[in-house]
């Protein structure tokens, strides 16, 4: 090996050792990561590498994924009509089957095999398998959304067993009730509830924006940290709106279930998960219980 090469390796070793204190901080902890549907079209190589690296250094990622746009695409390619009421997809049998096919049969297996291609071992599960997400029909006023569910109980024994055996669980957001009826469930909510049930150290929601922002004087200001009270104000004033509302609500849900830290990060950013772990302040927006953390 020439001198040049050895210097490069030495540099590599130094970098590894600099990362050590950051890694030790989360060693043995569970981090639930929501892998956003909208960021999936980008090249996600670094995202999967980060998951494998985390597992290798004894941090335990659990992945929850969505897939809304691809469900719509499949339904359209099959000639089915897609119907939304107040922004929520009406889920009949056809839609449920399409969602299950896209989420469990396609996206989940792509994530699992991508993780495996970097030497990790992932195991894909829907909330149906082993009654991982025991659910019931979500009650909504005025309108019947069909097979849309909410979670009653998480099978933590199953998840913890797999985590301890060295697997990275990858969860599709479907649930099942005791009668075997399957339900579609919002993926952000699944991530929040699973994080709470597993006593996760962190919930990381990967989105396609650079964290949470408010518009002041017509300019977008990214927020690095925000508390629950402030969020309520911003939602009321309309400063947080649209797709960001369910994200912050998922964060608040996780916090109320005992998760220590929740983060909204930009899934398009290379190595966003390692960046989140290897920096003191994190990247994106940290949503906390108290306003001043």
Residues that constitute the known binding site for substrate: 67-68, 89, 184
- With CB under 8 A, what is the number of residues at the site for its own copies? 80
- CB count within 10 Å of CB 8 equals 12
Mask for 58-97, x = binds its own copies (CB under 8 A): x---------------x--xxx-----------------x
Structure tokens at 256: 């109320």
Q: How far is the CB of 79 from its own copies (least distance, A)?
A: 7
Q: Which stretch binds its own copies (CB under 8 A): 12-20, 30-38, 203-211, 246-254?
A: 12-20
Q: Find the shortest distance in angstroms from Cβ 197 to its own copies.
A: 18
User: From the CB of 293, what's the least distance to its own copies, in Å?
Assistant: 17
User: Between residue 178 and residue 237, which ones bind its own copies under the rule CB under 8 A?
Assistant: 178-182
Residue 247's SS3 state is helix
Identified binder of its own copies from the candidate list 161, 215, 237, 258, rule CB under 8 A:
161
Q: With respect to its own copies, which residue has the nearer C-beta, 49 or 189?
A: 49
CB 59 within 8 A of CB 31: yes
Structure tokens at 144: 């019947």
Of 38, 42, 83, 130, the one binding its own copies by CB under 8 A: 130
Whether the CB-CB separation of 139 and 165 falls below 8 Å is answered with no
Binding site per annotation, positions: 67-68, 89, 184
Q: By CB under 8 A, what part of segment 240-279 binds its own copies?
A: 270-271, 274-275, 278-279
**Nearest-angstrom CA–CA distance, 276 and 202:** 10
- Separation CA 287–CA 293 (nearest Å): 10
Least separation, in Å, of the C-beta of 270 and its own copies?
6
DSSP class of residue 259?
Answer: -
Q: What distance lies between CA 292 and its chain's CA centroid? A: 25
127: tokens are: 């909330």
Contact 265, 206 (CB under 8 A): yes
Q: Does 160 bind its own copies (CB under 8 A)?
A: no
């Amino acid at each position: 090996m020439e001198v040049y090469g050895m210097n490069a390796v030495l540099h590599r070793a130094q970098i590894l050792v600099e990362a050590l204190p950051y890694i030790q901080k989360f060693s043995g902890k569970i981090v639930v990561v929501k892998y956003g549907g909208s960021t999936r079209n980008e090249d996600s190589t670094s995202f999967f590498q980060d998951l494998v690296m985390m597992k290798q250094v004894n941090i335990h990622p659990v992945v929850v994924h969505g897939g809304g746009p691809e469900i719509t695409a499949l339904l359209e390619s099959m000639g089915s009509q897609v119907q939304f009421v107040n922004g929520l997809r009406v889920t009949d049998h056809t839609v449920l089957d399409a969602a299950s096919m896209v989420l469990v049969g396609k996206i989940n297996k792509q994530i699992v095999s991508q993780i495996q291609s970097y030497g990790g071992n992932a195991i894909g599960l829907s909330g149906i398998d082993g009654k991982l997400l025991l659910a019931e029909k979500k009650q909504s006023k005025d309108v019947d959304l069909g097979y849309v569910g909410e979670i009653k109980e998480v099978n933590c024994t199953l998840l913890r067993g797999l985590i301890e055996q060295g697997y990275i669980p990858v969860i599709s957001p479907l649930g099942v009730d005791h009668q075997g009826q399957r339900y579609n469930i919002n993926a952000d909510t699944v991530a929040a509830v699973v994080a709470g049930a597993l006593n996760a150290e962190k919930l990381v929601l990967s989105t396609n924006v650079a964290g949470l922002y408010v518009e002041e004087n017509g300019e977008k200001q990214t927020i690095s940290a925000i508390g629950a009270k402030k969020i309520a104000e911003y939602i009321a004033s309309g400063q947080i709106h649209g797709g960001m509302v369910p994200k912050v609500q998922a964060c608040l849900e996780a916090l109320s279930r005992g998760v220590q830290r929740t983060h909204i990060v930009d899934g398009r950013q290379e190595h966003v998960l390692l960046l989140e772990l290897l920096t003191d302040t994190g990247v994106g927006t940290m949503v906390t219980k108290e306003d001043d953390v």
